[in-house]
């Protein structure tokens, strides 16, 4: 139950959206678990694939909403990030386990996880 309270607290904190926030790994996981894409179809794709790793510390995946973890990766540029997702990278299987994602879906999911939605 404690993580639920923590997650609720993080949602309520306006500072949550600011990249400069320092979180412990546990806080970063709790924060990641509160996030869902606003678009219902993307939210489904996310829940079935990316979320299974990108909200779990032990997978080594950059956590959703963890600005620090995404900063260096973001510098590669969106096309390169889409390519790594489609081809697979390290512990991430090709396609990120999303079997119906289009290139646009990948871009939108990456922007969402990196906290760089337009
Ligand atoms: C089975 C676990 C798993 C799933 C499912 C998964 N990822 Fe990943 N992802 C990882 C791991 C682990 C890394 C870090 C890989 C590395 O740097 O070695 C990663 C890294 C990334 C990166 C950074 C790539 C780079 O070039 O630095 C992007 C972008 C990404 N994932 C997008 C996605 C998207 C979008 C989805 C859902 C469609 C997804 N991932 C699903 C495990 C996963």
- Tokens 């996981």 belong to which residue? 29
| CB-ligand 1 contact for 97 (6 Å cutoff) | yes
CB atoms within 10 A of CB 108: 20
The CA angle 38-93-30, to the nearest 5 degrees, is 45
Dmax (CA) for the chain in angstroms is 40
pLDDT by residue, tens only, the chain of 118 residues: 555 554 444 444 544 455 567 899 999 999 999 999 999 999 999 999 999 999 999 999 999 999 999 999 999 999 999 999 999 999 999 999 999 999 999 999 999 999 998 7
| CB-ligand 1 contact for 82 (6 Å cutoff) | no
- Nearest residue to 9 via CA among 20, 21, 19: 21
């Amino acid at each position: 139950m404690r993580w639920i309270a923590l997650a609720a607290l993080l949602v309520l904190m306006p500072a949550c959206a600011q990249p400069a926030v320092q979180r412990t790994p546990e806080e970063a996981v709790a924060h990641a678990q509160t996030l869902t894409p606003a678009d219902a179809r993307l939210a489904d794709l996310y829940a079935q694939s990316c979320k299974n790793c990108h909200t779990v510390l032990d997978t080594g995946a950059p956590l959703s909403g963890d600005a620090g973890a995404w900063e260096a990766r973001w510098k590669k540029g969106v096309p390169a990030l889409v390519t790594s997702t489609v081809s697979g990278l390290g512990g991430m299987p090709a396609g990120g386990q999303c079997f119906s994602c289009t290139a646009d879906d990948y871009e939108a999911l990456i922007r969402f996880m990196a906290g760089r939605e337009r």
